[in-house]
Chains A and B, each alone.
Chain A
C-alpha cells in the first residue's frame, strides 16, 4: 500500500521559534498533499491543500503567513509553523493523494508539536 512518512514525529520548541514538518510519499507520486491539525478530542481540521509546483490553498481562518507550505516535488511537502506560540501546540497530520487517484488519501503518522 501507499506509505506516507512525516518528520519529526514530535517536537518541543520555545515560543517564537519556527518549526518545519516534512511530509513524504515514499512509494508513489503525490500530486496533492493535505495538511490537517487536530486538537485533543476533536476531529481533523483541514488547514490547507497543496498541489505540486503551485501555491497552497488555505482554509478560512488559517494564516498563510504563519503556516508556510511548500510542495516543491511530487514526493515532498513541508509545513513551517513560524513564530510558534503555545496555542499552536497540536497534532499535525499530512495526507497525500496519488496521481490519478481521485478519492483516497493516505495519511502520514502525524507530528506532535508542543510549544512552551
Chain B
C-alpha cells in the first residue's frame, strides 16, 4: 500500500532550527511535496523535490533521498508565524498526491 509517515507534533523555540522528517512508500514516484497549512486555511506550497539532494529556498530547505524513501523539511530562524501544520505529500505513478497526516509545529518564544 501507499503510505506517508511524519511526526504528529513538534515543538521548537523562536529563532531556532527544526527538521521535520517524512518517510514515504508510493506506487511509483514522481516527486515529494511539502505544504504549510495554518489552522482553518488551505495548504500553501513550500517545496517540490524529485531529485536527490537539498533544495534551499530562503529560511526553508527540503531534502530528498529516493533510495531511502525519505525527505525532510528544514526551517531556520524560526518565527512565531511558522506555527502551522506541515504536510508531506508524495506524487505516485498516476500523478496522484498521497498525503501524510501533517506535523503540527508549535513555536515557543
Cα distance A52–B107 in the bound complex, in angstroms: 42
CB distance from B85 to the nearest CB of A (A): 9
Is B42 a contact of A109 with CB atoms below 8 Å?
yes
Q: How large is the interface on B (under 10, 10 to 19, 20 to 34, 35 or more residues)?
A: 20 to 34
- Asked whether any CB of chain A lies closer than 8 Å to the CB of B109, the reply is no
User: When the two chains form their complex, are residues B40 and A43 in contact, meaning their CB atoms are under 8 A apart?
Assistant: no
Q: Which of A42, A43, A49, A93 contacts B42 (CB 8 A)?
A: A93
Which residues 25-53 of B sit at the A interface, judged by CB distance below 8 A? 30-31, 33, 40-45, 48, 50
Contacts of A110 in B (CB 8 A): 40-42
B99 within 8 A of A: yes
* B interface residues (Cβ-Cβ under 8 A, vs A): 30-31, 33, 40-45, 48, 50, 87, 91, 95-97, 99-102
Interface size class of A (residues with CB under 8 A): 10 to 19
Q: A93-B42, A103-B31, A110-B41 are in contact. Are A43 and B48 (CB under 8 A)?
A: no
Contact across chains for A105 and B97 when beta carbons are under 8 A apart: yes
8 closest Cβ pairs, A-B complex: A110-B42, A43-B101, A107-B42, A43-B99, A44-B99, A93-B42, A109-B42, A43-B102
Contact in complex: A107, B43 (CB < 8 Å): yes
Contact between chains at B31 and A44 (CB < 8 Å): no
Q: How far is the CA of A40 from the CA of B79 in the complex (A)?
A: 24
Do B95 and A102 have beta carbons less than 8 Å apart?
Answer: yes
Q: Which residues of B contact A103 (CB under 8 A)?
A: 30-31, 48, 50, 91, 95
Task: Beyond A46-B96, A107-B42, A107-B45, list 15 extra A-B contacts (CB 8 Å).
Answer: A42-B101, A43-B87, A43-B99, A44-B87, A49-B96, A103-B30, A103-B48, A103-B50, A104-B33, A105-B97, A106-B45, A108-B42, A109-B42, A110-B42, A112-B40
Distance in angstroms from B108 CB to nearest chain A CB is 20
Nearest A residue to B100, CB-CB:
A43
Q: Which of A18-44 contact B (CB under 8 A)?
A: 34, 42-44
